């Protein structure tokens, strides 16, 4: 069936209201959870704050390569949402809201959505195109058996995210204990710029991506989490030759800086571990440090510190919905420069933390692989195959 056969694609428009309402932008959603809102009145709301929702609606971000999907609960039905979301109202006599939710999270849907995305600067799928996309629709009884299984996987992923958050907090605490708050530099380290400690800032590869694992995997801005982890569970690929691989290939210790994104997410910074052949996409900058002056782990932790993120936010510039920080602006940022021996000790302690979390990482990959296998098994059924 088509998506428009199983759900109403809701038009934008907001009824007049008094007082304030909570407004949710696409940047306020992380790992399919609303993590922040903005209070707005009817008169001062942004023009994009123009979507009303109901309990049971399923929302998905329209932007290309943006996998954000929500099921609206009772507590969220009074929120306003950005027109960057498509609001789908399931026809419950045909499809369960939970089944629609998990289909919209599947690679099958996300790939189809990306193919119909259009636009000069930021490509996005419009409501009409989304409504025409196909969706596999088994009988309601089969849907009722499938949804609880996928919900249990969701609960495992929530536990995984909590563990990741604790790991990040441990590393940031270690950074502050060893080097002090960069905002006040209490240990009076020498102050340098990022440009003083790096030997290269290279913009990434701009090339069509595909789903062929026989090609070279490419790290995109979506593979860097807001807290600085490199999440390679959702990979895409590029068909390139040896010259491009040599120019854009990643090596252990490469710092990856997200130069273009929403204002809330621009400046995300990841650290490549050096396992396997990878290249990086055009919205990223590869930063390589001069190892006599600094270690990659120190620069990564500084840019992911509260002070580093606040500094990056102040430097972000750009049009509505998109912010930029170029390589020159990144290189001009001041940072304390502790002795290299202390930085090396910090890197060694980070490696110990990594070894302690290896089991957690393996669990992440196992959960992600299981989730991927189940969703693909559920949503990639060919016509004529049995549904149960």
- Burial (CB count <10 Å: 0-12, 13-18, 19+), residue 3: buried
The phi, psi pair for 32, rounded to 5°, reads 60, 30
* Residue 355 CA: distances (Å) to CA of 9, 28, 165: 47, 32, 16
| Local mean pLDDT, 10-residue blocks, the chain (388 residues) | 96 93 89 85 94 96 90 93 96 96 91 90 90 94 90 72 75 93 95 96 93 93 89 88 95 95 88 90 96 95 94 82 89 96 94 69 59 67 47
Nearest to residue 205, comparing CAs of 100, 99, 280? 280
Which pLDDT value is given to residue 16?
94
The reported pLDDT for the residue numbered 50 is: 95
CA distance linking residue 285 with residue 293, whole number of Å:
20
Return the sign of the alpha-carbon dihedral for residues 7, 152, 227, 76.
Answer: positive
CATH, domain 3-137, list 3.90.220.20, 3.40.190.10, 3.40.50.620, 3.30.43.10: 3.90.220.20
The dihedrals phi and psi of 97, each to the nearest 5 degrees, come to: -55, -40
Non-local (6+) Cβ contacts of 309 within 8 A are: 267, 303
DSSP string for residues in 118-129: B-SSS-B--HHH
Signed CA dihedral, 208, 214, 217, 223: sign only: positive
Distances (CA, A) of 200 to 67, 285, 358: 31, 10, 30
Say yes or no: do domains 3-137 and 158-366 share a fold. yes
- 0.75 cut: is pTM over it? no
* CA–CA distance, 157 with 376 (Å, rounded to integer): 17
Provide the residue ranges of all domains of the chain, joining segments of one domain with +. 3-137, 158-366
Domain spanning 158-366, CATH class:
alpha beta
Structure tokens at 252: 């252990």
Other Cβ atoms within 10 Å of 110 Cβ, number: 19
């Amino acid at each position: 069936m088509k998506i428009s056969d199983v759900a109403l694609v809701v038009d934008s428009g907001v009824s007049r209201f008094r007082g304030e309402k909570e407004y949710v932008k696409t940047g306020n959603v992380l790992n399919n959870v609303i993590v922040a809102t903005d209070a707005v009145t009817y008169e001062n709301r942004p023009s994009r704050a123009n979507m009303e929702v109901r309990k049971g609606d399923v929302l998905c971000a329209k932007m290309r390569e943006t996998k954000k999907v929500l099921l609206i609960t009772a507590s969220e039905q009074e929120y306003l949402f950005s027109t960057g979301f498509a609001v789908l109202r399931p026809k419950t006599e045909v499809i369960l809201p939970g089944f629609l939710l998990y289909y919209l999270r599947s690679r099958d849907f996300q790939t189809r959505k990306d193919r119909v995305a259009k636009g000069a600067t930021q490509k996005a799928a419009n409501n009409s195109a989304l409504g025409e996309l196909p969706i596999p629709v088994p009988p309601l009884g089969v849907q009722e058996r499938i949804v609880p299984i996928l919900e249990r996987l969701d609960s495992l992923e929530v536990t995984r995210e909590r563990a990741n958050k604790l790991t990040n907090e441990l590393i940031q605490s270690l950074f502050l204990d060893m080097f002090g708050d960069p905002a006040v530099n209490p240990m009076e380290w020498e102050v340098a710029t990022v440009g003083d400690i790096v030997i290269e800032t290279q913009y990434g590869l701009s090339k069509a991506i595909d789903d062929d694992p026989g090609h070279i995997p490419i790290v995109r801005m979506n593979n860097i989490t807001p807290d600085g982890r490199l999440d390679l569970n959702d990979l895409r690929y590029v068909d390139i030759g040896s010259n491009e691989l040599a120019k854009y290939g990643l090596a252990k210790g490469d710092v990856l800086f997200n130069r273009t994104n929403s204002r809330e997410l621009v400046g995300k910074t990841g650290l490549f571990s050096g396992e396997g052949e990878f290249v990086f996409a055009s919205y990223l900058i590869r930063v390589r440090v001069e190892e006599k002056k600094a270690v990659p782990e120190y620069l990564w932790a500084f840019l992911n510190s509260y002070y580093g993120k606040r500094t990056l936010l102040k430097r972000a510039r750009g049009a509505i919905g998109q912010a930029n920080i170029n390589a020159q602006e990144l290189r001009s940022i001041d940072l304390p420069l502790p002795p290299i021996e202390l930085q090396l000790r910090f890197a060694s302690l980070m490696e110990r933390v990594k070894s302690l979390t290896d089991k957690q990482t393996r669990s992440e990959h196992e959960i992600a692989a299981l989730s991927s296998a189940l969703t693909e098994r559920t949503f990639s059924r060919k016509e004529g195959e049995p549904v149960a």
